Amino acid sequence: MQDPVLNQAMEEWEKSSDDPKVCEEYYDRRKAVLDEMAAVREAELRLREAIRQSKKGMREHNILV
């Protein structure tokens, strides 16, 4: 590799990936990020459903939407 910064980053990654503690920390952090993304997505879906239900109720009660 000709880019010294990228080369150093790759070397550090290779060294750290051999360390079980670093790998565990990486996967724990990755899981936390994915869990947070899933929670946000779930909240978005619940909000959309609540809005849909609200509009449906308004239509059923002849309230203009």
Boundaries of every domain in the chain: 4-60
Contacts of 17 (CB under 8 A, 6+ apart): 23
Residues 13-45 have pLDDT tens digits of 888 888 899 889 999 999 999 999 999 999 999
Dihedrals phi, psi of 19, to nearest 5 degrees: -90, 115
CA distance 28 to 22: 10
What does pTM read for this prediction? 0.64
Mean pLDDT along residues 1-16 = 87
